[in-house]
Structure 1
Amino acid sequence: MSSNSCHPNAPHEKLKAPDWYISSRMLDRALDAILRRIKKLDRKHDIPYLAGYSQDGKTIYIDRHLPKSFTYRGRTVEVDRFLILHEEVEKTLIDQLGLHYLHAHQIATRAEEAAVHAQRITWKAYDRFMQEYVKQIGDERLQKVPADLDLKPYRDYHDYDLLLRMEKHLARDKVPAGVKKAELKNYASAFREELRVRERHAASSDGAR
């Protein structure tokens, strides 16, 4: 196999560290490279499901109430880097490859999980910490939503109730709230039409039996 192929015959036996250590270091460097690409990190807003991104992808949002770290087996584990990795991978797959949110989310979650494991942290411990701070539908802490938050994940996930709640608590900052309200209105119309189509389909299926 040639040296410029994807898997050249390198002398792996000469490595002086276990495979997991080498893989962890490489993944950590890749994550650092992604973090350097971030133009802006915002921790001043309420973000449903902890993290998200702006429509133009230049800002990564992390919920303002999420602590920046947690303690795991006596270690202080900073969490922003893992969330940033997830959001960057997800946004890129959606915008550049045209993937559906649910597919991009699954891939991004796997990348996030790999990065967590690379730091020798169990996913169970990490996820348990995250779930304590997730803001879902009806959460009273969901009060300040960024006006340029990309709504595609919530739209593709068919989280209509959350979209309506977000409309009531859009941040009144430099981006006109009317722009986001118009977007939410369009999404709401699309949801209602989709619901009507499903109901008609269900009715016709029942009638054919």
Structure 2
Amino acid sequence: LILSEYLCVITALHCCLWRSSCGMIIYKVSEEVNKGTVVGNIAKDLKISVLESRILQLVTRSNRKYFDVNLKTGALFVNERIDREELCFAYQQCALNLEAVIQNPHSRYRIEIHITDVNDHTPQFPRDEYQLEITESALPGSRFPIEHAQDPDIGTNSVRLYRLSPNEHFALDSNKPSLNTKHIELVLKKPLDRNKKVYVFCFGTMLLTLTVQICWTNFLYTCSSV
């Protein structure tokens, strides 16, 4: 599909997008693609018919050579594994900037390669188990915060849903993560009564493939019976 100055080529592994303007090319490729994956064709995109006879050098500030060029075909390809989270942490935008220096005649072109995220990390809670002490006098509606899960991936690849095992005493305030808080909240649905039994609840909170144990032990006794 060609619209004005945009060209998008989609394969099962990646999408390459380029724009040539004032000596600059923009490409896009997913992280974790195989070594040798072609990102674009510099010779074609810059309309250079003979590349092999002209000395070309890719200049980057990185000490790792993520990309290289086939001088016979002009193909820009992935030279080593790309981990978006290692490069850009949790930032929404992630790009590598290169400069293609071509001789005979001398010319320089900026190359900007946007690295898109893939869902390659399992969310992690700060702890494997949480134990909460709850008094017998706790009223329905009482809230108990739990640290939220952390995920290096971004957007739709990040934490999307929390799920609490079925039980009669506790519920989640919301099963969706919030950007405004670092906690999720458990809400007491019905009173606890020590006279009936000692409560020890252990539920698994499912998030993608992650489970954390949340245990409540009701041993903080409130004198409520004569």
Instruction: Give the alignment's TM-score, normalised by structure 1.
Output: 0.26
Larger helix proportion, structure 1 or 2?
A: 1
Larger strand proportion, structure 1 or 2?
A: 2
Q: Greater Rg, structure 1 or structure 2?
A: 2
